[in-house]
């Protein structure tokens, strides 16, 4: 992988993570996440192949979403599950007050709760969930933070952990740089997406950091799926 994408760059900071970033652009970014994740992140496929087969009809299936961002993933999961006849309850957590403020503006099901909370706190409270999920969290972490989060997620889940993220790619970077400025105006999606790609892992890099009990799968559109199945 040539030049600037030859190695991961976790020291870079995304515009939306800066304390003084423009709030209008930040909220527009949150709104744009719905489109980005719908077409690029593959969560509908993940739901159909990794989550739905494990859902139970005679109970309320519980989810923890770590770092919910624009809240589009928990909203989509609730809608898909409801359409398929399942009852679910989702706790979506964030540490960024701005994301929580944005989530309060959304019209969401009573099955979804947004809270400012750390995974360590949930463990201390004795909480567990059928599924623990995250979208685009791994590339925000330093290498040494990855095993810590995975251990916490393992303690919190009863069935499965699913971490969905970007895989660093020259082709993916080029396509994102060419297309997104035309589609996502007045938000940080384009420039932060390119920073995210620079911060993201290659599958073989991530493999060096995670326990052997975890699985790494490469998905279409330059994606990595890191999973733990406890069933």
Domain ranges for the chain: 3-229
Give pLDDT tens digits for 116-157: 999 999 999 999 999 999 999 999 999 999 999 999 999 999
* The domain made up of 3-229 is a member of CATH 3.40.50.150: yes
The answer to whether 202 and 30 have CB atoms below 8 angstroms apart is no
Distance CA 81, CA 72 (A): 14
Distance CA 68, CA 70 (A): 6
How far apart, in Å, are the Cα atoms of 156 and each of 100, 136, 167, 179?
22, 19, 25, 38
Beta-carbon-side half-sphere exposure of residue 30 (alpha carbons within 13 Å): 21
Distance CA 142, CA 148 (A): 11
pLDDT for position 3? 67
Distance, in Å, from the CA atom of 165 to the CA atom of 169, rounded to the nearest integer, reads 13
103-126 pLDDT tens trace: 999 999 999 999 999 999 999 999
* pLDDT (mean) for 198-202: 97
């Amino acid at each position: 992988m040539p030049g600037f994408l030859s190695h991961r760059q976790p020291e870079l900071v995304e515009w939306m993570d800066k304390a003084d970033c423009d709030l209008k652009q930040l909220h527009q970014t949150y709104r744009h996440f719905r489109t980005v994740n719908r077409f690029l992140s593959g969560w509908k496929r993940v739901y159909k192949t990794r989550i739905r087969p494990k859902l139970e009809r005679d109970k309320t299936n519980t989810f923890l979403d770590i770092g919910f961002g624009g809240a589009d993933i928990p909203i989509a999961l609730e809608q898909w599950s409801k359409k398929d006849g399942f009852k679910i309850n989702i706790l979506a957590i964030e540490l960024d007050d701005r994301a929580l403020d944005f989530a309060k503006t959304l019209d969401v099901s009573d099955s979804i709760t947004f809270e400012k909370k750390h995974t360590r706190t949930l463990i201390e409270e004795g909480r567990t969930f059928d599924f623990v999920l995250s979208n685009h969290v791994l590339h925000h972490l330093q290498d040494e933070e990855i095993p810590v989060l995975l251990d916490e997620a393992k303690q919190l889940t009863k069935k499965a952990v699913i971490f969905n993220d970007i895989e660093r790619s020259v082709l993916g970077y080029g396509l994102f740089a060419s297309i997104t400025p035309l589609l996502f105006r007045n938000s940080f999606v384009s420039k932060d997406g390119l920073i995210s790609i620079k911060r993201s892992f290659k599958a073989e890099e991530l493999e060096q950091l995670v326990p052997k009990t975890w699985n790494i799968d490469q998905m279409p559109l330059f994606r990595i799926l890191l999973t733990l199945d406890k069933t």
